[in-house]
């Protein structure tokens, strides 16, 4: 636990430094570069997991298409008149990538595994860059404050779940998929997320009033729990505890962003529905 806590604090400090630097440009250039790299690493890990269960995926195609999808989504948010908005890229890139994946199997005459291989390619593009693209919408509509709110609710909520679940949790939340997660930990995650969102609403970084902020914290942290379990499902099928060992004590890049992937679209729509400034 001390090693994980130390790494978590270091990662948190790095994120804060990135946000401070990113705030210098309204278009979020630093955010775009960092998140594109994060998406590329996460997609590479996903391709590795697929290979472990006998589904060979064209990893370079997946990483290239995923990086392009994220970057074009960001460009669509930043300059909609030039790039046709984010949803143009959201449809174009997956269609081209899936077509390229099918064409590869046709040209190589490789029939076995074609459905599974192209299926994982499509899954990866939807699961990582497309969902992460909603976080881009938060960044460019509600600024660094909105982005920080999503990250803070997800990460502090996850920490609350870890500490309370490890110490006091008994009843398992999803014992087959994720044996370490408890019902108490889930309640602690939602409660911590709501508290963090409320505190932010009372700070200079506020993007929501106190009342709506409680709904924001509850729904975003709840979505993060589902995202965490979804990633655990994929890792269990691959026989892995972590998506990769690049961050000792924490895991891989996908482990770092799994909850955030599901939380991002929920956060975007809550902010939009609640009429947050931006």
Q: Collapsing DSSP states into helix, strand and coil, what is residue 177?
A: coil
> For position 175, what pLDDT does the model report?
84
23, 28, 31, 34: CA torsion to nearest 10: -120
> Which among 262, 147, 153 has a CA at the least distance from the CA of 216?
153
User: Cβ(14)–Cβ(37) under 8 Å?
Assistant: no
Q: Which residues pair with 182 in a beta bridge?
A: 172
What does pLDDT average to in each consecutive run of 10 residues of the chain (278 residues)?
57 83 90 96 97 93 97 93 85 94 92 92 96 96 95 93 76 86 91 97 94 96 96 95 84 94 97 80
> For position 5, what pLDDT does the model report?
54
User: Cβ(177)–Cβ(229) under 8 Å?
Assistant: yes
User: Cβ(186)–Cβ(226) under 8 Å?
Assistant: no
23 membership: H or E segment, kind and range = none
User: Cβ(59)–Cβ(45) under 8 Å?
Assistant: no
> For position 7, what pLDDT does the model report?
59
Number of Cβ within a 10 Å radius of residue 246: 14
3 state SS for 232-260: HHHHHHCCCCCCCCCECCCECHHHHHHHH
């Amino acid at each position: 636990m001390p090693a994980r806590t130390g790494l978590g604090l270091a990662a948190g400090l790095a994120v804060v430094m990135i946000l401070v630097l990113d705030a210098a440009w309204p278009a979020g250039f630093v955010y775009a570069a960092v998140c594109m790299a994060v998406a590329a690493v996460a997609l590479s890990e996903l391709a590795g997991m697929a290979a472990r269960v006998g589904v060979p995926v064209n990893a370079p195609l997946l990483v290239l298409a995923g990086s392009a999808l994220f970057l074009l989504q960001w460009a669509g948010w930043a300059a909609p008149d030039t790039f046709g908005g984010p949803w143009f890229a959201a449809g174009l890139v997956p269609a081209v990538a899936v077509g390229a994946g099918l064409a590869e199997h046709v040209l190589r005459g490789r029939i076995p595994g074609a459905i599974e291989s192209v299926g994982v390619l499509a899954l990866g593009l939807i699961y990582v860059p497309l969902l992460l693209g909603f976080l881009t919408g938060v960044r460019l509509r509600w600024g660094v404050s909105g982005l920080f709110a999503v990250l803070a609710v997800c990460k502090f909520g996850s920490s609350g779940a870890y500490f309370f679940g490890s110490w006091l949790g008994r009843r398992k939340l999803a014992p087959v998929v994720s044996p370490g997660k408890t019902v108490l930990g889930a309640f602690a995650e939602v409660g911590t997320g709501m508290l963090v969102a409320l505190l932010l609403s009372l700070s200079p970084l506020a993007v929501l009033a106190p009342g709506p902020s409680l709904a924001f914290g509850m729904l975003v942290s709840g979505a993060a729990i589902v995202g965490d379990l979804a990633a655990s499902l994929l890792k269990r099928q691959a026989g892995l505890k972590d998506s990769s060992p690049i961050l000792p004590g924490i895991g891989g890049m996908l482990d770092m962003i799994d909850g955030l992937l599901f939380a991002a679209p929920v956060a975007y729509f809550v902010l939009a529905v609640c009429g947050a400034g931006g």
